[in-house]
A and B are shown apart, each in its own frame.
Chain A
Amino acid sequence: MQFKSIFYKKKKYASIPTEKAKQEIPEGLVEKCGSCGKIYYEKEWSQQLKVCPNCGTHHRLTAYERIKALIDEDSFTEWDPSMETTDPLKFPEYQEKLKKDQAKTGLKDAVVTGKGTINGYETAIVVMDPFFRMASMGAVVGEKIARALENARVEQLPMIIFTASGGARMQEGMISLMQMAKTSIAVDRFNRSGGCLINVFTHPTTGGVTASFASIGDYHFAEPKALIGFAGRRIIEQTIREKLPDDFQTAEFQLKHGQVDKVVHRHELKALLTTVLDLHQPKGRDEL
């Protein structure tokens, strides 16, 4: 044990490779698993949907990567792609941060919404993108999700939401908090019209998103080891003055504590969603 380790605690949960770590590898050729360090050709890496064949770590997907992996080719119609925040609070450094993430992701904000088919089954879909401001929820995220739920309600489509979020977006202050209300009411309206809401928790889903639409789906699936929780680990440890177990707030922990229906490997997700969509086809019910 080195002297340094007295001061620096070893991380007990999976972490995302830093920008620096990524830069060590020539881009477009190979990818390195940030968890176990094994190196893969880019092609294999994307075929594996960024799940490390060696250690099983589910690395984060961008919204479009997720859609590409799931939605039948050429069937996706995007909703509200150009919606943008106005920086309503004129919050310090927010504009710069937005511009940087917009350039990095090609997105206007942290969520992609739309509809398409999965193995032929029509569905509405919402994918939050953790590469954009950690998919925090401000006015755009809230509005796009609420509109998507309304569209799905009107078009009588099921809805699949891939959740990921650092929580409410601080830089939009109380407007962000109110998106919890907006999206939850939208879920309620969708529910009451008989809509089927399938939420898939991906790493990490926390804070105001966990405390709104993410936690009130009809079905809650989660990717292995995904962090799912309301309060942050550090805050809890400071509050209760004790060390939390390693598996605290993981998908498996939430399964054990009754917040998640099923933990699903990314490679099995499409088949599972197809089956669930099939089980909700009105045609099937008529024939019974």
Chain B
Amino acid sequence: MKQVLSFEKPIIELKEKIHELKNMAEENNLTLDDEINTMEQRLKRLEQEIYDHLSIWDRIQVARHPERPTSLDYIEKLFTNFIELHGDRLYRDDPAIITGIAKYKEVPVTVVAQQRGKNTKENLHRNFASPHPEGYRKAIRQMKLAEKFNRPIICFIDTKGAHPGKGAEERGQGEAIARNLMEMAHLTVPIIAVVIGEGGSGGALGIGLADHVHMLENAMYSVISPEGAASILWKDATKAEEAAKSLKITAKDLKALGIIDEIIPEVKGGAHRDFDMQVAYVDTYIEKSFNYLTTIDRQSLPNIRWEKYKKIGEITE
């Protein structure tokens, strides 16, 4: 049973009606083609209308959908020979971040990704994709190996944020993210990041300082969760929708602000509705960046990266 989001209800209902009508026609040997055609036309228009006018809140629901494809789903489809590699060599392995080596279009690459669980058990294991310092340290260890062996890095971002916990603070959550940013700054291999679901603040950026940052159409990327912003600003977490609008966290807004490079279109209704098609879309954008970035002289990548981030931030003097 698929979970239905409130904005999809009219579509699902109409689809069910069409389905019933078709069954009825078949069972009773009736010719209802005209009626079915009309309803299918109506469905098309309805889908168009609803999906073209998704509110920010609708998109957030899609981004947080329990059936939304996770990093591992993409990794399985996009790469061959994927070998997951574990541990930061300092403390432990953090299951919230997956790292490994694989081939992308026959070229060896390093993959770094935040991994949500698909059910409660998995989520407990993955800590709901909220990494600890050791997750970031594992990530940077793999990225440095990528540089050593001249492998481009592909990152998938999908986290509510870095884990706010006692151990995380004791082991230097801030330092772990900061060090990743500083080390990623000078890696002489291309870095491509794709925000596939939620991009939660510093926890997302900790593996997201990239040459190209793409975002799925319904994904979100924010400095603070809409709920968190609402409770700070208006002491009222229920005003999250209002906060979400003000924070400018959609792919479209972030493209306009120059924070991300490309918006990766989603299949109608969200990535979970047709995963194969969605993989094809994601593949197109990664491949384009991959082909472009691998032509750039390795040694000039850090400077190009600096120029990219230097520009972000409107000021007057």
Contact = CB atoms under 8 A, between A and B. Distances in A.
Interface of A: 80, 82-86, 88-89, 91-93, 138-140, 142-143, 146, 168, 170, 172-182, 184-185, 187-189, 191-192, 207-208, 210-216, 229-232, 235-236, 239-240, 242, 244, 248-249, 257-259
B254 A174 contact: yes
B269 interface: no
Q: Does more than half of chain A's interface fall in helix, strand or loop, or is it mixed?
A: helix
Contacts of A249: 169
B172 A189 contact: no
B212 to A, nearest CB: 14
A5 B202 CA distance: 36
A248 B167 CA distance: 11
Given A92-B246, A140-B313, A174-B249, 6 more contacts: A89-B247, A174-B221, A174-B257, A177-B201, A211-B178, A230-B177
B310 interface: yes
Q: Does more than half of chain B's interface fall in helix, strand or loop, or is it mixed?
A: helix
Contact of B201 (A91, A168, A185, A213): A168
A94 B7 CA distance: 32
A242 B165 CA distance: 10
Interface stretch (B42-50, B59-67, B181-189): B181-189
Interface stretch (B222-230, B279-287, B288-296): B222-230
Interface in B156-198: 162-166, 168-175, 177-179, 181-183, 185-186
Contacts of A248: 166, 169
Contacts of A185: 181-182, 185, 209, 305-306, 309-310
A89 B233 CA distance: 15
Contacts of B249: 173-174
B206 A211 contact: yes
Contacts of A192: 186
Interface in B239-275: 246-249, 254, 257, 259
Interface in B302-317: 305-306, 309-310, 312-317
Contact of A178 (B165, B185, B259): B259
B315 A189 contact: no
Contacts of A240: 165-166
Given A84-B315, A174-B221, A177-B202, A215 B248 contact: no
A136 to B, nearest CB: 10
Given A210-B174, A215-B179, A232 B259 contact: no
A182 B310 contact: yes
B305 to A, nearest CB: 7
Contacts of B229: 170
Given A139-B315, A142-B313, A215 B175 contact: yes
B314 A86 contact: yes
Given A184-B181, A215-B174, A230 B259 contact: no
A213 B162 CA distance: 17
Contacts, number: 188
B232 interface: yes
B169 A231 contact: yes
A216 B171 contact: no
B317 A184 contact: no
A192 to B, nearest CB: 7
A244 B166 contact: yes
23 contacts: A89-B246, A138-B313, A139-B312, A139-B315, A170-B224, A173-B222, A174-B221, A175-B313, A178-B309, A180-B202, A181-B181, A185-B185, A188-B185, A189-B185, A211-B173, A211-B175, A211-B177, A214-B178, A215-B174, A215-B175, A231-B162, A236-B165, A257-B172
A139 B314 CA distance: 6
A175 B259 contact: yes
Interface string B66-78: 0000000000000
A171 to B, nearest CB: 8
Given A173-B248, A182-B309, A211-B177, A229 B316 contact: no
B129 interface: no
Closest 9 CB pairs of A and B: A139-B313, A231-B164, A210-B174, A184-B181, A230-B174, A215-B178, A211-B177, A185-B185, A215-B175
B201 A208 contact: yes
A219 to B, nearest CB: 14
Contacts of B315: 83-86, 139-140, 143
Given A83-B317, A84-B315, A173 B223 contact: yes
